[in-house]
Amino acid sequence: MNIKTTNKTKTSIFYNPFKSFNLMKKYTYKNICTLFLLLILGSVQAQQKNSDKCRYTKTPQGYLMVLREGDNVLKLLEDLAQEEKIPSAYLTGIGFAQQAEFGFYDFEKKKFNPKTFYKVEMGSLTGSLAWKEGKPSLHVHGVATDKDFNAFGGHLLSLTVGTGSMEIYITLYNEKLERKTEQPLNANVLQLPCIE
């Protein structure tokens, strides 16, 4: 018993449970897929926010940073100094570097001659954090070794974390220290308060 509505379509006056079930199944599948996608995106965003927050933690002496592959070490240290309003600090660290750019200072030209090394282990990372003209000023040196245990070192111009991680310990000083450019070397020199 069908009623003809158009030449192309027939509408049944009887309820077809299988047709409704297939339609419901189709929309349920879409809803489940959409919900699943939203849960995955939310989880990824939460992990990204969480990893940003968990790059460092407070310690009794200052901070401990744990950086991961691709992180720009010097920039993140500067960001930490600004976020936490660190007056000044001593830095030390270890870890694997995707790229380490060292500079050797040319006293005649008054600039660094750079050299970049890739996939090296930072056997040592030491330095200080102070301020210059309202911005964090880092002075960091390091020693890196390659897979053949050749060692390279000097003033770090840039450093990117490689596979694995890099741990950096930041020991705070209570007093805010400044750097100033001193001549004739045109070098940033840490300024100390005189003891009276």
User: For 44-75, what is each residue's pLDDT tens digit?
Assistant: 454 444 445 589 999 999 999 999 999 999 99
Between residues 28 and 79, the one the model is more confident about: 79
**């592959």: which residue's tokens?**
69
Q: Residue 179 corresponds to which tokens in the numbers above?
A: 């750097």
Q: Find the range with the poorest average confidence among 48-52, 92-96, 161-165, 167-171.
A: 48-52
User: pLDDT category, 23, cuts 50, 70, 90?
Assistant: low
Checking if the pLDDT of 148 tops 80, the result is yes
86, 172 Cβ separation under 8 angstroms:
yes
Checking if the pLDDT of 118 tops 60, the result is yes
Between residues 7 and 39, the one the model is more confident about: 39
Q: Which of the 8 DSSP states describes residue 72?
A: B
* Cα–Cα distance for residue pair 186/159, rounded to 1 Å: 23
Task: Specify the pLDDT at position 34.
Answer: 64
* Cα–Cα distance for residue pair 154/115, rounded to 1 Å: 10
